[in-house]
Amino acid sequence: MKIRYVLVMCGLLGLASCVKDDSTGATGAISEILIDEGSVKELYDIDKNEVLTITPQCKQTNGQKALSYTWEIDQKVYSHEPQFVYKGERLGTYLCRLIVENEDGKTFFPFKLNVNSPYEEGITVLSHDAQGKSMLSFMLKQRVPGVEDHFEDGDCFTVNNPDILFADSVTDMVQCDGNLIVSCKGNNHLQVPATIYYLNEKTFMVQNEIRVPEYANFNPIRLGIPADGYVGTAYPILSEDGKIYEFSISESALVPSTRLTSNYARACGIYSTSSTNFTLLFWDNTRHAFCQLTNGYGPYYCSKTYNMKNDNFDASKNYFNGKDFVAMFMPRLLSDASTTEEPTVVVIVKNSSSAMYQKVELNAPFWKYNADQGENVLVDNGGLKMCGFAAPKLKATSPLVASKLYKVLFFGDGNTVYKWFYTSNQMLDKSEEYCKVGSAQAIIGSMELSQDQKELFVAFHEPAESGLNGHVWVYDTQDGALLRKYDNVCYQPVKIMYKKK
């Protein structure tokens, strides 16, 4: 057992004599205070909202004199109790000190306390129950030996915002500029309008709450907001009725879009490398056309004619003329991919006059400057190719995620995950069954890839179960082996996302 000896500051008389004698003015022996170093450490790390308890063990060299305790945090007195009990309500590093005192003097023990974010990085799940009650779940990473990765108990929104009502029917979330932006449709019966929350990405505490009751038909389902927001730019939010509203993240203002005025499919592609370099992709149901916003400008439609816009739209030049939208996806780049690597978007369409399905792989954005031709040209990576005859299980609302590393699309239907090698000659209707989750009644709500794309996270719910009927199962991306199960950790999942640090 180690004992920390600290100089006891006494009066001059105490310093002059530590041994009791019978001479005039002499004192008794000083009782020095010794703190067991095993009972108090020099460094503590706790998570936000975690309670730290320290019980110091003290000894005295001469008798048991009355002890008093003082705990200081950043040079301010926190407590005089013998035991230190502290709840980490705010993130930060704190310089602390224990002072133990008797009638002869004091002993000091300085230590450092770090209050860390438990939500620094990891799997995040949005879900709601059958009545629309919303829930935010987060998977805590292993930090203590013997304690595996696990989801935090309860709703992380409510835990960190006990005085704020979480609006019903969550629909989407994006990570942007230090915030986790979450959208909810609300509850008309309870007169709770659609709501957009700004949560601090490290604490999940609400920084801002935006409600627009003046737009009764606004029910946000897709947030077209890139990872790096730009002050003064309005970003599109897709409503359940297919309309688009524009949202300024700096001014927290939302209005119906005056640029994107058609009806749009429930799909949105987002790619950004910086706050001023981003591309957003939408399918225009009214014009049967694919369009994009580039760095806030547009919409520009996919055509052989560079920058065909609203005011010069020509149906005969529309690249997807005569096609109906089926689905779209952007293959996930590796987290350490070079910023020069060009993203692509794969679009699945059906001929309006037949049952033939086709795919096309486009650049995002569509056009690239060709020095030989001296102009911007459409980069379609091979043009429209047949991908199936029979009606595929893939739909615009299907949960899906695509790996650029393995050139494979994973999509869900009921309790089954299918995989389709989108760059091969495999027909879409011949997609391979990858795995089945839960019972035959299970319904997959969302999927996500790990940062290295070697693991696939499948979030689903069991309609027959009550309470927390949502589950997350993890599979090996290549061979489909079930690696881990996290059962009853959420409600009906609507989105699972890897929140980056």
286 lies in some domain: no
Closest C-alpha among 13, 20, 83 to residue 53: 83
Residues with Cβ within 8 Å of residue 264, at least 6 apart in sequence: 238, 242, 243, 244, 282, 283, 284, 285
- Asked if 387 contacts 314 with a C-beta cutoff of 8 angstroms, the reply is no
Name 297's bridge partners. Answer: 294
Q: What is the pLDDT of residues 121-174, one digit of tens each?
A: 899 999 999 999 999 999 987 655 666 788 988 899 999 999 999 999 999 999
Find the CATH number of the domain harbouring 102: 2.60.40.10
Say yes or no to pLDDT of 299 above 90: yes
Q: What average pLDDT score do residues 307-326 get?
A: 92
31 lies in some domain: yes
Q: Which helix (H) or strand (E) holds 90?
A: none
Q: Give the span between the Cα atoms of 111 and 452, in whole angstroms.
A: 38
329 lies in some domain: no
Share of the chain above pLDDT 70, in %: 91
Say yes or no to pLDDT of 355 above 90: no
Query: 428: helix, coil or strand?
Result: helix
Judging by beta carbons within 10 Å of its beta carbon (0-12, 13-18, 19+), is residue 299 exposed, middle or buried? buried
**For the chain, how many structural domains are there in total?**
1
Q: CB-side exposure of 298: number of CA atoms within 13 Å?
A: 24
Q: Give the span between the Cα atoms of 242 and 263, in whole angstroms.
A: 5
Share of the chain above pLDDT 90, in %: 66
Closest C-alpha among 221, 219, 205 to residue 126: 221
β-strand pairing of 105-116 with 43-47 = parallel
381: alpha, beta or left? (left if phi > 0; alpha if psi -120 to 50): left
Q: What is the pLDDT of residues 200-211, one digit of tens each?
A: 999 999 999 999
Q: How far is CA 112 from the centre of its chain?
A: 29
Q: What average pLDDT score do residues 178-195 get?
A: 85
So what's the pLDDT on residue 188?
61
Say yes or no to pLDDT of 10 above 50: no
8 lies in some domain: yes
Q: How far is CA 493 from CA 286, 399, 457, in A?
A: 30, 11, 12
Say yes or no to pLDDT of 59 above 60: yes
Place of tokens 């795919």: 359
How confident is residue 7, by pLDDT bands cut at 50, 70 and 90?
Answer: very low
Q: CA geometry: angle at 48 spanning 40 and 152, to 5°? A: 115
Token representation of residue 187: 């509850």
- Asked if 240 contacts 264 with a C-beta cutoff of 8 angstroms, the reply is no
Helix residue spans in 327-480 (DSSP H): none
Q: What average pLDDT score do residues 340-355 get?
A: 86
Judging by beta carbons within 10 Å of its beta carbon (0-12, 13-18, 19+), is residue 487 exposed, middle or buried? middle
Name 173's bridge partners. Answer: 182
Phi, psi of 315 (to 5 degrees): -60, -35
Closest C-alpha among 252, 261, 259, 301 to residue 281: 301
Which amino acid belongs to residue 51?
A: V
Phi, psi of 429 (to 5 degrees): -75, -5
- Asked if 241 contacts 217 with a C-beta cutoff of 8 angstroms, the reply is yes
β-strand pairing of 220-223 with 443-449 = unpaired
Instruction: Give the dihedral of Cα atoms 307, 310, 314, 315; nearest 10 deg.
Output: 110
Q: What is the pLDDT of residues 423-467, one digit of tens each?
A: 998 999 899 999 999 999 999 999 999 999 999 999 999 999 999
Burial 262-290 (b: 16+ CB within 10 A, else e): bebbbbbbbbbeebeebbbbbbbbebbbb
Q: Give the span between the Cα atoms of 222 and 236, in whole angstroms.
A: 9
DSSP string covering 343-367: PEEEEEEEETTSS-EEEEEEESSSE
Of 27-41, 46-60, 265-279, 334-348, the range with the lowest mean pLDDT is 334-348
Q: Which domain holds residue 78?
A: 3-116
239 lies in some domain: no
32 lies in some domain: yes
460 lies in some domain: no
128 lies in some domain: no
